[in-house]
Amino acid sequence: MKILVCIKQVPDTTDIKWTENNTIQREGVESVINPYDVFAIEEALKLKKSIDNVEITALTMGPLQAEDILKKAIAVGCDHAVLISDKKFAGADTYATGKTIASAIKTKLADYDLILCGQFAVDGDTAQTGPSIANQLGIPQVTYVRKLYKCDGKSIYATREIEEGLEAVKAQFPVLICVLKGYEEPTRPKINGIIKAQNSKITVYSMEDIGLTPEDVGIKGSPTYVSRAFRPQNTRGECEIYSNCGTFAEKIKKFGGLCNE
Ligand code: FAD
């Protein structure tokens, strides 16, 4: 069984700064694996422990320094790592990111059963990339997954969060799954894993390698335009709390606004 895990490099900071194009300033900021993707790796590792012949490939689209997170993925137990990297990918929105990753999968990693993504990236936080990859590959997707609890080689069984509680789902391969924070502590790298990661070679694919053109990728391939980015005003201390003011209609009369009652 072949599993692909999509991981994203995110800034290791809460002090987000913006570029002049209103995108997140990523250069010069320490980076880590997106926390939800750590749980996606964890679900893949659990499957590897419970079933024979599972091969895990971690992949990311990002700059060359994203090799660091791929090596971390190998250190905890992933078998292979792929970096999709090209200067022309800069400025990609979620549509172009999904298209680029899907093209790499179609052209270079087509022999897969299961694709795992995080539900969100903690920097961009759109939750669009996983569904976009599934859409462009034409495969089903299961989102908001808490746990993969069974696999019979042809299908995967998962519990997913819905408003009313948890839902149990069975999905046939190939399928893409977006995971939430899991229940278990993520695996820590062991010394053998760290040595393996240091010696491993990361496969890098460029735009041409995956059959795309400059019009498909980066800013040219991105329909999203960010017109403005700003921090919300801090409203702390500006709210007044009234208690014991009677019914909703009485409150409206007392504090202003229209009331039909
Ligand atoms: P989400 O959709 O919330 O992520 C969900 C999951 O998708 C992740 O947990 C992970 O499993 C997977 N995933 C997401 N991104 C990747 C990835 N790159 N590789 C592998 N798996 C992934 N970002 C840049 O890094 N550089 C840029 O130059 C850049 N320019 C942008 C320009 C514009 C106009 C816009 C709108 C955005 C730009 N971004 C850039 C942000 C970029 O589009 C998003 O970070 C990216 O598409 C993922 O979206 P997200 O962060 O909302 O991830």
Structure tokens at 7: 């991981």
Tell me if 40 sits within 8 A of 76, measured CB to CB.
no
Q: Could you say which DSSP state residue 187 is in?
A: P
Q: Is 126 in the pocket of ligand 1 (CB under 6 A)?
A: yes
User: For ligand 1, what atom is nearest to the CA of residue 126?
Assistant: 52
245 in a domain, yes or no?
no
Q: Is 121 in the pocket of ligand 1 (CB under 6 A)?
A: yes
90 in a domain, yes or no?
yes
Tens digit of pLDDT at every position of the chain (261 positions): 999 999 999 988 666 677 776 777 767 777 899 999 999 999 999 999 999 999 999 999 999 999 999 999 999 999 999 999 999 999 999 999 999 999 999 999 999 999 999 999 998 889 999 999 999 999 999 999 999 999 998 999 999 999 989 999 999 999 999 999 988 889 999 999 999 999 999 999 999 999 999 999 999 999 998 888 777 777 666 666 666 666 766 766 666 655 444
Q: State the Cα–Cα distance between residues 100 and 228, nearest whole angstrom.
A: 26
**Confidence (pTM):** 0.87
Domain CATH number, residue 37:
3.40.50.620
- CA 246 to ligand 1 centroid distance, Å: 48
Structure tokens at 38: 């750590």
258 in a domain, yes or no?
no
Three-state SS for 250?
Answer: helix
- CA 250 to ligand 1 centroid distance, Å: 48
Report the number of distinct structural domains present in the chain: 1
- CA 245 to ligand 1 centroid distance, Å: 47
Q: State the Cα–Cα distance between residues 57 and 3, nearest whole angstrom.
A: 6
Residue matched to tokens 């800013």: 219
Q: Is 85 in the pocket of ligand 1 (CB under 6 A)?
A: no
- CA 134 to ligand 1 centroid distance, Å: 15
Question: Which residue segment(s) compose the domain that 128 sits in?
Answer: 2-235
252 in a domain, yes or no?
no
215 in a domain, yes or no?
yes
255 in a domain, yes or no?
no
User: For ligand 1, what atom is nearest to the CA of residue 98?
Assistant: 47
207 in a domain, yes or no?
yes
